[in-house]
Structure 1
Amino acid sequence: MRRVAVVSTGVIGASWAAHFLAHGLDVVATDPAPDAEERLRAEVATHWPVLERGGLADGASPQRLSFTADPAEAVADADFVQENGPEREDVKHALFAVIDAAARPEVVLASSSSGLLPSTIARGALEHPERVLVGHPFNPPHLIPLVEVVPGEKTAEESVETAMAFYAAVGKRPIRVRREVPGHIANRLQAALWQEAYSLVERGVATVADIDTAISQGPGLRWAVLGPFLNQHLSGGPGGIAHILEHLGPPTEKWWRDLRSVTLTPELVATLVAGVDDELDGVDSAELVTRRDAVLNALLAAKTGAGL
């Protein structure tokens, strides 16, 4: 594959475009916003230095980016389509009706949707729903390797295999989601953590900054290397995860029973926002993103060097 269409170029779409360009692909982008092309090129330029430090493919260049306001024109000659429109069924259906009619029949139409089911999205693709699936990245896609590939009820196995192979070829770590569920896998795991984090703030157990520190300076460091199951296994010594489940399973079940559901009331939202504002007092957000991305780049290089 040499040409990718990036449909809608907000934060996720722009990051995808930069990633594909860094891997030596031609990218044709489309977005209806009047200033979309200018914003996109500025975002790609912002991402390019960290991509250069991570290593570019032969021929990689921002000059291989083209733009059109017409989504049908954008996908007409594409070998793969990555859609990134708003998380609304009506918008997805209207968009997929256009790109399904315009793209070559064998071309996969992948949505970056973070929560919508691919079977729902595919209702807009009246001609070829079998080539519609979710290819959900993690933000920022130009750095984070994970892509969740989620087939829908009508998705052909060939489309799944094509998407898995394509993402792997451009440096991603795709996983196949075996059943459709709202939010897929990683977002559901995040949502579980957020629920308890918000609850702990609401109950006065910890501040926003305390919780960020608890994760970023604690389990988050291990999670960045290995997943929850392997970390549990290594924590169990010679007995591994079997030992952990036998000895820490019962108290863990008690903790589960004490976890609280939470409602995002206006008061709680205000508390969370104020907590983040306090945590970022005197910190330049743009500079924080730059430092975060530099650490992510170094971490990914270290993981690759260690065979992880």
Structure 2
Amino acid sequence: MGRWIDRVGVVGTGLIGASWAACFLAQGLDVVATDPAPGAEERLRRQVDRAWPVLAELGLAAGASPDRIRFEPDLEAAVAEVDFVQESGPEREEVKRETFRRLDAATAPDVLLASSTSGLMPSLFQAGCRHPGRVLVGHPFNPPHLIPLVEVVGGRETAPEAIEEAMEFYARIGKRPIHIRMELIGHVANRLQNALYREAYHLVKIGAVSVSEVDAAIAHGPGLRWALMGPCLLQHLGGGEGGIRHALDHLGPFKEAAWADLGTPKLDEDLKDKLAAGMDEAMREVDREAMLRERDALMVALLKAKAAAGHLP
């Protein structure tokens, strides 16, 4: 472990893999990408080109260039000489297991093998590897070329040194890695998101609010604060001089009553129809591509503002 990382292998070049490739390129790294899907190289290069202006606005590392990417259809050839592998293939256990078996056989034993999986546990696909100690999860948030968070999760056989090296690498390329100390379905951030989704869907199902009103309740309310700091720190600041302890003592009974009243909806056809119809109505007169460009521009502005702030975590 501990080798300097200059060349990254990107395995799987769909939405997440291509975004990772753009991120690595913007940090001045060489990228060797592979994907068996027809037309994968063309789609990859198109997505990198699309992301590049935003990455340039955020700031490129010395030597960064989209020309430093090479596409290699053969997986073993693609990763034969890389220093780090970021896998972003299909979210199916049997596919992950076979992919990591091949990656383990084709790479040097000290090359970290990280998966972007959003829900699978690394122990499930490190078992068939000769060197399972270097296999872990490095789960990004979409789009990885913009969102800093990376969740680093080890499996039963992952070496502590591999976790440390992965954390250092992701931090070096401008990410905000967090170490999740146990294997959980969905890791941590997705579990937090899903807790919110569950209640949002419940409120739509019972007719308390519309789909667009659920979104407004977050985007124009707590979401603005959540973009700056996490829920525990926000509650600590909201507790005044007494901090989070005062807030918990004061609001604890209300929180417990609210928890007891939360819904447990089923994603049946009726609920899926309501959610889809609500989004169709909300997007009826919206230019999707223009919205995505606006989202990215606002994200860049927010990232710059947070980077310039001296006291935000």
TM range (shorter): over 0.9
The code of the aligned residue for 1:90 comes to E
Deviation digits for residues 100-155 of structure 1 (CA, Å, limit 9, x no counterpart): 10011000000000000011121242x11111000000001000000000000000
* Aligned equivalent of 2:108: 104
Q: Say which SS state the counterpart of residue 119 (structure 2) adopts.
A: coil
- From 234, 237, 240, give the equivalent of 2:240: 237
For 2:187, the equivalent position in structure 1 comes to 184
Question: Which of these residues, 68, 77, 87, is aligned with residue 91 of structure 2?
Answer: 87
Q: TM-score, normalised by structure 2?
A: 0.97
Alignment correspondent of 2:127? 123
Give the one of 33, 56, 59 matched to 1:29: 33
Structure 1 segment 191-270 matched on structure 2, within 5 A: 191-270=194-273
TM normalised by structure 1 equals: 0.99
Matched, 1:65 2:88: no
- Quote the residue 1:288 is aligned against: 291
Q: CA deviation at 1:237?
A: 1.1
Superimposed CA distance per residue, residues 148-206 of structure 1 (whole angstroms, 9 cap, x where no aligned partner): 00000000111111100100000000000011111000000000000000000000001
Name 2:138's counterpart in structure 1: 135
Alpha-carbon RMSD: 0.7
Which structure 2 residue ranges, 5 or more long, are not aligned? none
Instruction: Indicate which of 2, 7, 12 corresponds to 2:11.
Output: 7
Distance change (3 Å), C-alpha of 1:124 and 1:282: farther
Cα distance in 1 for partners of 2:87, 2:128 equals: 13
Counterparts of residues 291-306 of structure 1 (less than 5 Å): 291-306=294-309
CA–CA separation in structure 1 for the residues paired with 2:189 and 2:24: 22
Q: Which amino acid aligns with 2:24?
A: F
Instruction: State the shift of 1:238 in Å.
Output: 1.1
Give yes or no for the alignment of 1:171 onto 2:190: no
What's the secondary structure of 2:150's corresponding residue? strand
- 1:244 and 1:278 mapped to 2: Cα distance? 39
Does the aligned pair in 2 maintain the 1:95–1:124 contact within 8 Å? Answer: no
In structure 1, what is the equivalent of residue 118 of structure 2? Answer: 114
The one-letter amino acid paired with 2:104 is: D
Separation in structure 1 between the aligned mates of residue 76 and residue 210 of structure 2, nearest angstrom: 49
Distance in 2 between residues matched to 1:237 and 1:198, nearest whole Å: 33
1:27 is paired with a residue whose SS is: strand
Three-state SS of the structure 2 residue aligned to 1:198 is helix
Secondary structure, counterpart of 2:174 in structure 1: coil
- Secondary structure of the residue aligned to 2:13 is coil
**Secondary structure of the residue that 2:127 maps to in structure 1?**
helix
Aligned residues: 307
- Deviating above 6 A after TM superposition, structure 1's stretches of 4 or more consecutive aligned residues are none
**What is the percent sequence identity of the aligned residues?**
60
Residue by residue over 1:15-62, the C-alpha shift from the partner in whole angstroms, topping out at 9 and shown as x without a partner, is 000000000000000000110000000000000010010000000000
Say if 1:17 and 1:27, in contact at 8 Å, map to a contact too: yes
Conserved 8 A contact 1:92-1:124? no
Picking from 24, 37, 43, the partner of 1:39 is: 43
In structure 1, list runs of 5 or more residues that go unmatched. none
